[in-house]
């Protein structure tokens, strides 16, 4: 069998090492005291700096490391951690320096930060902690390269029932130690979630009273079996699975879970947590420098995962960020040179201030989700996504594609920055959403040439009058089969009946593949709460067309996921009538809090076809 290779995850900063931890530049999560990982921004300049030994809690940063690649089922799969590798100088940072940079926790109940973000924004953990929510009773596991279970900042919260070594087939998830400390990623992520409070070590986790486990599954061949085993570990005990890895962020890979892993996801959301559903939190990816798209990553592109991106200390899009329509929300992480990174636990019972990339963002989200789950242990996996949509804050985040219709929405940030205080408040009295409905529409009756641009439209009834009728959207999937001589030239957009435009695929200049897409399910969360009845439009554009390009769209299936009425008989007076509802998002009392401005009726489309 080929050896497992380790590669840097796209182009993240030094600290974004997937093996390490995910705490971000400013100490976005709740690091207890001093440690906050500082993630640097560029691969090339080596701006990230690790904290060396200092009072026994800072960790040395290994020199340039190779991030790891995972592999698929019996056939090994290429999997990369969502971090960046580089060579960084060792720095001796005093406690006050580190704490000053824990801006994301600046409103902490336990500690008062000396500085704050320029825009006075953080993850608002203070409000949640002030109400007594610290993750108690919630179990989180980190799917990664292991967890240092005897780390002084983790040992009090370590949970052996949430841990396993899939690589070696035993119960001990302790990382394999090497001279370069490349297996540090899982330990770093664990500290972001559940590093203990008030012990004078490293920092404090967002959910510092949650139980934390680790699954060692990246330090060896990663196959479909390995992934499925990891995703399905003890699902009646573990509440939240956090993962900061995926296919290579190289701007050309198209990969996702294979058969067994797909089944593990399905079993998790249907049977995990006593049928409330396991919660899977996923890092969106670090392929920004390679102009990658996380819609080509089948893990972050899944309706079953809560995909989390990164923002910098200043509220800007990091250079490593991948835009896509499947991202639900964001947390802090590393940015450009001079901006802070994440502080967290590190190997050999030390600490680091240089955890970076989306690898650091996902564990912060897992910690916030643990706080919300403690507030209401009856939340389903879909309830949690609804809470994220309704409480995330777009306010101080900068992006060129913010939608101003209805609520804030961006391909870089999803619905905005997670807000722990708001999530906990809404979770406490949340009414569980109705059963999930799935409505499938076959949109295409015959193949269509893509040419320079194909615009195809069709009206749907969202399965009105049938048990699967969807009246309020959650996820939307466009399953496409198409051929093209160079798929990286293509940009794909989906426009909802209310005019919401989701970019399902951004052009990928590094993708020269002529394999096209074979029943690939592009997913968007951008039409959440919309009424799906009406005309949907698919646009496929060749952004670098020449006379030699050719392509054909042979299949387009629209899958609508969401909720609908419990009354099945359309003749009943209780059955809802088709409507022109323009509400984008409702609050917990189903009061409209955002409306969508409809697309202009004179919008021009090319090659438009209306099929019944």
- Which of 373, 405, 428 is the last residue before a domain boundary? 428
Q: Tell me: do 391 and 520 sit in the same domain.
A: no
Residue 47 pLDDT > 50: no
E strands present in 443-569: 448-449, 453-460, 472-484, 490-495, 501-505, 517-524, 534-542, 551-563
Predicted confidence at residue 78, as pLDDT, reads 65
Average pLDDT, the chain: 78
- The answer as to whether 80 is a domain residue is yes
- The answer as to whether 4 is a domain residue is no
Q: What is the pTM of this model?
A: 0.79
What's the CATH code of the domain at 545?
A: 2.60.120.260
Name the 3-class secondary structure at 331: strand
State pLDDT tens for residues 183-219.
899 999 999 999 999 998 998 999 999 999 999 999 9
State pLDDT tens for residues 456-510.
999 999 999 999 999 999 999 999 999 999 999 999 999 999 999 999 999 999 9
What is the tally of structural domains in the chain?
A: 2
Predicted confidence at residue 396, as pLDDT, reads 77
Lowest mean pLDDT of 18-27, 389-398, 540-549, name the range.
18-27
State pLDDT tens for residues 405-462.
446 789 999 999 999 999 999 999 999 999 999 999 999 999 999 999 999 999 999 9
Q: Tell me: do 530 and 509 sit in the same domain.
A: yes
Q: How confident is the model at residue 83 (pLDDT cuts 50, 70, 90)?
A: low
Q: Tell me: do 20 and 105 sit in the same domain.
A: yes
Lowest mean pLDDT of 22-36, 94-108, 310-324, 582-596, name the range.
22-36
Q: Is the dihedral of CA 156, 160, 161, 167 positive or negative?
A: positive
- The answer as to whether 512 is a domain residue is yes
Q: Tell me: do 362 and 442 sit in the same domain.
A: no
Q: Tell me: do 553 and 416 sit in the same domain.
A: no
Helix (H) or strand (E) holding 305: strand 305-311
Residue 201 is classified by DSSP as S
Q: How confident is the model at residue 95 (pLDDT cuts 50, 70, 90)?
A: very low
Of 46 and 303, more confident: 303
- The answer as to whether 143 is a domain residue is yes
Predicted confidence at residue 402, as pLDDT, reads 64
Q: Give the C-alpha separation, 576 to 564, whole Å.
A: 9
The parent domain of residue 464 ranges over 437-595
- The answer as to whether 6 is a domain residue is no
Predicted confidence at residue 52, as pLDDT, reads 30
Q: How confident is the model at residue 235 (pLDDT cuts 50, 70, 90)?
A: very high
Q: Tell me: do 211 and 283 sit in the same domain.
A: yes
Arithmetic mean of pLDDT, 398-403: 70
- The residues annotated as belonging to the active site are 144, 185, 359
Arithmetic mean of pLDDT, 165-174: 96
Q: Give the C-alpha separation, 477 to 303, whole Å.
A: 9
**Closest CA relative to residue 403, chosen from 587, 526, 558, 552:** 526
Q: Give the C-alpha separation, 32 to 105, whole Å.
A: 9
- The answer as to whether 446 is a domain residue is yes
Predicted confidence at residue 81, as pLDDT, reads 64
Predicted confidence at residue 336, as pLDDT, reads 76
Predicted confidence at residue 596, as pLDDT, reads 31
Residue 155 pLDDT > 70: yes
Arithmetic mean of pLDDT, 112-126: 57
Q: Tell me: do 396 and 524 sit in the same domain.
A: no
Q: Return the structure tokens found at 100.
A: 């000053």
Contact 166, 230 (CB under 8 A): yes
Q: Tell me: do 476 and 327 sit in the same domain.
A: no
- The answer as to whether 612 is a domain residue is no
Of 388 and 95, more confident: 388
Q: Tell me: do 203 and 239 sit in the same domain.
A: yes
- The answer as to whether 378 is a domain residue is yes
Predicted confidence at residue 18, as pLDDT, reads 27
């Amino acid at each position: 069998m080929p050896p497992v290779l380790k590669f840097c995850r796209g182009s993240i900063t030094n600290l974004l090492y997937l093996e390490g931890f995910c705490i971000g530049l400013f100490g976005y999560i709740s690091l207890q005291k001093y440690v906050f990982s500082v993630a640097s921004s560029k691969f090339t300049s080596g701006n990230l700096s690790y904290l060396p030994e200092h009072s026994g809690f800072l960790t040395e940063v290994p020199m340039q490391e190779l991030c790891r690649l995972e592999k698929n089922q019996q056939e090994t799969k290429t999997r990369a951690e969502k971090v960046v590798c580089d060579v960084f100088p060792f720095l001796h940072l005093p406690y006050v320096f580190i704490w000053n940079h824990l801006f994301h926790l600046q409103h902490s109940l336990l500690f008062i930060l000396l500085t704050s973000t320029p825009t006075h924004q953080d993850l608002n953990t203070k409000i949640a902690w002030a109400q007594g929510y610290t993750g108690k009773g919630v179990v989180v596991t980190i799917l990664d390269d292991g967890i240092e279970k005897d780390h002084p900042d983790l040992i009090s919260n370590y949970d052996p029932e949430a841990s396993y070594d899939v690589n070696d087939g035993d119960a001990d998830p302790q990382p394999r130690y090497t001279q370069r400390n490349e297996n540090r990623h899982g330990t770093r992520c664990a500290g972001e979630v559940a590093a203990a409070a008030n012990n004078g070590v490293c920092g404090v986790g967002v959910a510092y009273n949650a139980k934390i486990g680790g699954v060692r599954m990246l330090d060896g061949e990663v196959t479909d079996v390995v992934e499925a085993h990891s995703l399905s570990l003890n699902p009646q005990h573990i509440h939240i699975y956090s993962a900061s890895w995926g296919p290579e962020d190289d701007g050309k890979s198209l990969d996702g879970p294979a058969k067994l892993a797909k089944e593990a996801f399905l079993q998790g959301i249907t049977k995990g947590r006593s049928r409330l559903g396991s919660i899977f939190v996923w890092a969106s990816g670090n392929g920004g420098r390679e102009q990658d798209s996380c819609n080509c990553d089948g893990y972050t592109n899944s309706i079953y995962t809560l995909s989390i991106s990164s923002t910098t200390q200043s509220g800007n899009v990091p250079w490593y960020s991948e835009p896509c329509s499947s991202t639900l929300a964001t947390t802090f992480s590393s940015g450009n040179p001079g901006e802070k990174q994440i502080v967290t636990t590190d190997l050999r019972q030390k600490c680091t201030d240089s955890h970076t990339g989306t690898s650091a963002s996902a564990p912060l989200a897992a910690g916030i989700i643990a706080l919300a789950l403690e507030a209401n242990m009856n939340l389903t996996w879909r309830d949690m996504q609804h809470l994220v949509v309704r409480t995330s804050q777009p306010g101080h985040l900068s992006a060129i594609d913010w939608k101003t219709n209805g609520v804030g929405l961006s391909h870089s940030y999803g619905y905005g920055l997670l807000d722990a205080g708001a999530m906990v408040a809404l979770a406490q009295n949340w009414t569980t959403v109705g059963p999930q409905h799935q409505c499938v529409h076959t949109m295409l009756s015959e193949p269509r040439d893509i040419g320079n641009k194909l615009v195809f439209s069709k009206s749907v009834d969202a399965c009105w009058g049938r048990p699967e009728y969807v009246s309020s959207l959650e996820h939307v999937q466009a399953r496409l089969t198409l051929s093209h001589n160079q798929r990286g030239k293509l940009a794909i957009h989906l426009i909802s009946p209310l005019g919401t435009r989701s970019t399902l695929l951004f052009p990928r200049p590094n993708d020269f593949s002529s394999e096209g897409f074979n029943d690939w399910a592009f997913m968007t969360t951008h039409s959440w709460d919309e009424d799906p009845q009406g005309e949907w439009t698919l646009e496929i554009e060749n952004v670098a067309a020449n006379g030699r390009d050719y392509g054909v769209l042979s299949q387009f299936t629209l899958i609508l996921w969401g909720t609908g009425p419990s009354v099945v008989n359309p003749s009943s007076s209780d059955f809802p009538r088709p409507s022109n509802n323009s509400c984008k998002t409702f609050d917990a009392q189903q009061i409209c809090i955002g409306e969508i401005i409809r697309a202009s009726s004179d919008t021009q489309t090319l090659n438009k076809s209306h099929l019944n």
